[in-house]
A and B are shown apart, each in its own frame.
Chain A
Amino acid sequence: MIWEVFRQEEPGDSHEHVGNVHAPDREMATLFARIQHARRMQTNSLWVTPRDEIGEVTAEEAAFGGRTDKSYRWAMTYNDIDASFAEEVADSESEQREAARKRREALREEENEA
């Protein structure tokens, strides 16, 4: 049975997927996960879950975020407004800019492949 492994580095962080292990039951899966994924890497907590229990949807099946122009829902669109007056607004805008950049790159790659 395959178990997917999620590792949390510091208390308060999200658990992130780091790989999987082959194990007959949950107890063995946690043991293998400890050895394979937490021996050197800083770890606060590990999760294991049977692969079969994970639902997945990929970019091939779904157009994540849609393909029409939805620029109206990004902070950067309102570029006549200066976000720097409030740290939290400026932070949000730069996070959004980074997310939009990654998304643009992915779409460009998709177009190049097509």
Chain B
Amino acid sequence: MDLETVMERAGPREFGPGDELPEKYRKAATRMIQFHANSEVMGGYLDKTFTRKAPSLDRKLANTAKVQDEIGHAQLLYRAAETLDVKTRAEMLDELATGEGKFLNCFHYPVDSWYEAPMIDFFVDGGAMRRQATLKSTSWTPYAHAMDKVCFEEGFHVKHGESILRELMNGSKATQERMQETFDVWWPRILQFFGPTNDESVHDDFAQAVGLKTATNDELRTSFLNMYIPKAEKYGLEIPEYPRIYERDDGTMAVREDDLDWKEFWTISRNEYEGSTEQIGSRRRRQDAVEWVRESLETWESSAGPTPQTAD
């Protein structure tokens, strides 16, 4: 299939492993899904910190279940990416370890307090779920199938995250103040979650033309603001004055891009931020520590695994 045909046919769940697709499509899809899978891994690693910080057994259990889910999502996504025949799972995991693999900006900031749990589990996950719901209609079918299962599970994460926020904002005045301070730090990062405005985004045009992406960064950011600002305010959080948020003529919300630190954002996107090194390094050390497990699995697979002879 040539690129022109791909663009003509582009639609929800239009292409699958049975189609011969141009390299440009397969590479763009791999880039996108690999980024998504990496983010699930790095989000999971970040989230596991909260199990230790969680104030009750219920919260610890829920958090453990969430981390389990996120790592499971990564597995689904690496499989969906592998079906494009551009990179193997091992290659993608290695790239994540060497610092070549890219992932979401919010997961480059190490966390160390329970107050940060709702930042990740409610706001970041809520934003991610907005985007993931639109990806159920992506043109790469294995990706869409992965989104079906991911979205099925995410509802628990977002509700649990909101429940933590609610609990903390019903706490003492000191607790509420700490929550507000944490929110002030995280809010600009969360606003950058959806990336720069459309005209500055490098990959959007092609991804949309071939149906990989079905909503623009701008649309996602706008709907996120319309849903999540009222939530923050409902629990008594004040939206910081900067970055300024304004209402457009059509009633939707937008951010003044100049108020955000794009230098930091682009440093992060190159994995060159201080936190990037810390997060990537801590995951790499854990990957190295279980190298013997992968090795023994591989030895087993190549020596004692089932032979495909009966199938042929």
Binding site for B on A (CB under 8 A): 11-14, 26, 45, 49-50, 52-53, 70, 72-75, 77-78, 80-81, 83, 85-93, 95-96, 99
Known: A70-B65, A95-B152, A96-B156. A88 touches B13 (CB 8 A): no
A86-B227, A88-B133 known, 10 other contacts, Cβ within 8 Å? A11-B141, A12-B12, A14-B145, A26-B311, A73-B61, A78-B159, A78-B163, A81-B162, A89-B126, A93-B159
Ranked nearest first, the 8 interchain pairs of A and B with the lowest CB-CB distance are A12-B13, A92-B155, A88-B133, A73-B65, A75-B155, A72-B62, A78-B159, A75-B156
In the complex, what's the smallest C-beta–C-beta distance from B141 to chain A, in angstroms?
A: 5
* Size bracket, chain B contacts: 35 or more
Binding site for A on B (CB under 8 A): 12-14, 16, 18, 58, 61-62, 65-66, 69, 126, 129-130, 132-133, 141, 144-145, 151-156, 158-160, 162-163, 166, 227, 230-231, 306, 308, 310-312
Closest chain A residue, CB of each to CB of B224: A86
A-B contacts, 17 of them at CB < 8 A, read A11-B16, A13-B13, A14-B145, A53-B306, A70-B65, A72-B61, A72-B62, A78-B160, A81-B166, A83-B158, A86-B158, A88-B129, A88-B130, A89-B154, A89-B155, A92-B154, A92-B156
Secondary structure class of chain B's binding surface, majority of residues: helix
For residue B156, which residues in chain A have a CB less than 8 angstroms away from its CB?
73-75, 77-78, 92, 96
B14's partner among A11, A78, A81 (CB-CB below 8 A) is A11
Closest chain A residue, CB of each to CB of B129: A88
A45 to B18 Cα, complex, angstroms: 10
